[in-house]
Amino acid sequence: MKLLFRLLTLLFFTLTTLSANAQAPILTADAAILIDARTGQVLYEKNADKRESPASMTKMMTCILALERGNPLKTIAVSANAANVESTELCGGEWIRLGDLTYQMMLISDNGAATAIAEAIGGNVNHFASMMNEKARAIGAVGTHFVNANGMPDEDHYSTARDMAKIAQYGLRNKEFRQIVSTKSKQVHYERPSKNLPCTNTNHLLFTYDGAIGVKTGYTRAAQGCLAAAATRNGRTLIAVIMHAGWGSRFTEAAALLDHGFEMKK
């Protein structure tokens, strides 16, 4: 009888351990990480400290500084420099409030909007990049170095999956940040000339993944597909970061990582 009890006890703990350490998904991404947003506990990692190009995930930091250092009601005149950046809907001479510009940057990943925010808050892109780096160090993202506000390719512009997760985690503590990155679509209003620009979020998981609340996509030829994805289920929020993956597989692999995390026992 004692032997049977011991065998049953051993079986119970074996099954519990297997459940807690459910098989992690196989990822094609070059680097990835999954963390608990509340505690920062790492639930999965792959090359999490490898230096990678963050592409437009950079804009998470730009958004953080826009919210902490800027006035959303301030009207900004779009410079020719911002309007001439690759992949933007801006035109020189337009006037738009900082709050609307931040939505445009985060929802459709507008590179010119990020540049305009940098100029409005930092005076110029170089000084704003210094502000970004200072904030990154304060957050603990010590493997990161920014040279621009939008994530356009540059050898000196880099981060890691771990750092991107820390930046996303920090941002999600801000109510306004959470509101922006969870917005599926919005009509962004321009003051002069008066018009509305329809913006649909590039984060497909907001439309397809149960509990998705953000955060930011990224893609360049150098960086390939990147994604910082967050979701909340049963009061628990997880953050998955995918770097250097396929354009579409970044979404499926982030979803698989999140599923893996939610299936694990706390």
Q: Would you give the DSSP letter of residue 50?
A: S
Q: Are 46 and 29 in contact (CB under 8 A)?
A: yes
159 classed as catalytic: no
Residue 29, CA distances (Å) to 167, 224, 241, 252, 254 in order: 20, 9, 10, 11, 10
The one catalytic residue in 2, 46, 50, 59 is 59
Q: Are 33 and 45 in contact (CB under 8 A)?
A: yes
53 classed as catalytic: no
56 classed as catalytic: yes
Token pair in block for residue 199: 């913006």
The one catalytic residue in 46, 56, 135, 186 is 56
Query: Strand, helix or coil at 21?
Result: coil
Strands 195-200 and 212-220: unpaired
How many Cα atoms occupy the beta-carbon half-sphere of 254 within 13 Å? 36
Catalytic residues: 56, 59, 109
